[in-house]
Amino acid sequence: MNIEEFREVWEENKELRELAANDKDRLNYHIMPTSGWVNDPNGLCQFKGIYHIYYQYSPFDVNGKLKLWGHITTEDFIKYQEHEPVLYPDFRYDQNGVYSGSAVVRNGKINYFYTGNVKYLDGDYDYIMTGREQNLIACSSEDGFNFSEKELIMTNTDFPSNLSLHVRDPKVYHKNGIDYMVIGARDDNSIGCILVLKGKDLKDWECHTVIYSDEKFGYMWECPDLFDLNGETVLVTCPQGVPEEGYIYKNVHQNGYFLVNGDLESKDVNLSEFRLLDYGFDFYAPQSFEDESGRRILVGWMGIPDADYTNRTTENGWQHALTMPRELILKNGIIYQRPVEEIKSLRGDNRTFTADEFKNLEVENLSFELCAEFEKCNEFKLNLRNDISLSFDKSKGLIELNMGESGCGRDVRYAYCDEVRNIDVYSDISAFEIFINDGEIVFTTRAYTDGIQKIGFEKLDGLAKVCMYDMKKI
């Protein structure tokens, strides 16, 4: 599909957009598709004051078939503007999808690297695949809107021969004057790993090394992101095929990070233990960037591939969303995530409660933020909807998100946690982002309810103060 074909189909799809716009599950302060499907955030950057948020977008198909790069900009994370998509599968090397990629602001322009997906389909059937290419493609833009010609940089035969055909999602890391590019991969033995390329001034890319964890951790690692944060080097990635372990890794695919020790240049690198970034049902493929003020900001896909739970928005012409932008800080080897400061400007009317008052509160407006500060808390059960609760039990060292019927197949998720000091729950109609202990533990999930909901403490052993804000629309 090229831009002309896109424009034609866009015209034909007015009804789909109207259907989506009128859905009661639409979100107030999250990025979501006008119609169709969204997945990974791509090409995140700030250029000349403007934040560019591109994303995997399939505007005419709620189940996400052919992928383009959608485009939204903001100057303040409060007001957003949607633009026409920027990258279409109109090139021999990306004809079956402009897959995920990233951006580097340098030399007065934005430089993009992404994966062009090519499927070899059986001549008679467009669903039987006989092979594929995952191509590394570069392009650039002087304004974030108008793009240069696409250039093929590498294809599967240029990658190390022990890698499978699954090699995708490039992200650039710059250290000591050298450019490295990390790309998610699956090797011939079905072990997840990261291919590292080395380049000079974003050109002349060559294979440098392949990074593995000490022990096999899944069969494929998608969407890697390598960056320095508060003196450590962090590798974020999304491993697929990791078995459940105790109370964690219950999602079909994981998201999280390793700390990277050693020296990338001399290829002497080892990875720490893996830690989840988000313990909820709907979080995957996060990407981060450093903004012009030096903040490390991360946006994730509020969704996950291959899950067996559903989203009722599909009946109304759209599916999935992106998380709020989160600022990252690393302390004692742990990443803390908090919505960027600007999100506070979305706060409207507020009310404060003692723990005793905060029970069975009838709430009609499900676009709110709920902050609770705890003291000496041994246990609580906090209802967030009629049938959704967040519970903590100090004796078990666990925090639990229980979804009830409103989860549409989502049941329970846990995180290990010895103490709860504070929680910050963002409720946005059919979505939650829950930050515990200043963002040390995060749960992101979709949820589908109708009518007035009763929220508040059902149980509390400890002291708590609560504050609630209405949240405005972006």
Catalytic machinery residues: 40
Question: Which positions lie near ligand FRU, rule CB under 6 A?
Answer: 39-40, 56, 67, 99-100, 115, 168-169, 222-223, 284-285, 305
Considering the complex, what minimum distance in angstroms separates the CB of residue 44 from ligand FRU?
Answer: 15
Q: Give the up-direction half-sphere exposure of residue 443: CA atoms within 13 A in the CB hemisphere.
A: 31
* CA pair distance 273, 296, nearest whole angstrom: 22
Is the four-CA dihedral 268, 274, 275, 278 of positive or negative sign?
A: positive
Looking at beta carbons only, is 274 or 469 nearer to ligand FRU? 274
* Rounded-to-integer distance, Cα 433 and Cα 463, Å: 23
Give whichever of 111 and 115 is closer to ligand FRU, judged by the CB atom. 115
Distance CA 155, CA 94 (A): 11
Other C-beta atoms within 10 Å of 176: how many? 7
Closest contact distance (angstroms) between CB of 435 and ligand FRU is: 23
What's the number of CA atoms in the CB half-sphere (13 Å) around residue 273? 4
Q: How far is the CB of 310 from ligand FRU (least distance, A)?
A: 18
Closest CB to ligand FRU among residues 56, 445 = 56
With respect to ligand FRU, which residue has the nearer C-beta, 303 or 439?
A: 303
Nearest distance, CB of residue 168 and ligand FRU, angstroms: 5
Minimum distance of ligand FRU from residue 61's CB (angstroms):
12
- Residue 375: how many other CB atoms lie within 10 Å: 9
Q: What is the Cα–Cα distance from 250 to 307, expressed in whole angstroms?
A: 11
Of the two residues 192 and 199, which places its CB atom closer to ligand FRU in the complex? 192
Neighbouring residues of 315: CB distance < 8 A, sequence distance ≥ 6: none
Residue 283 dihedral angles phi and psi, to the nearest 5°:
-155, 130
Instruction: Give 187 or 369: the residue with its C-beta nearer to ligand FRU.
Output: 187
Structure tokens at 431: 């979505």
- Least CB distance from residue 466 to ligand FRU, whole Å? 36
Instruction: Tell me how far apart the alpha carbons of residues 304 and 155 are, in angstroms, rounded to a whole number.
Output: 27
In the numeric block, the tokens 């990338």 are attached to 264
Nearest 5°: CA angle at 170, between 166 and 171?
A: 150
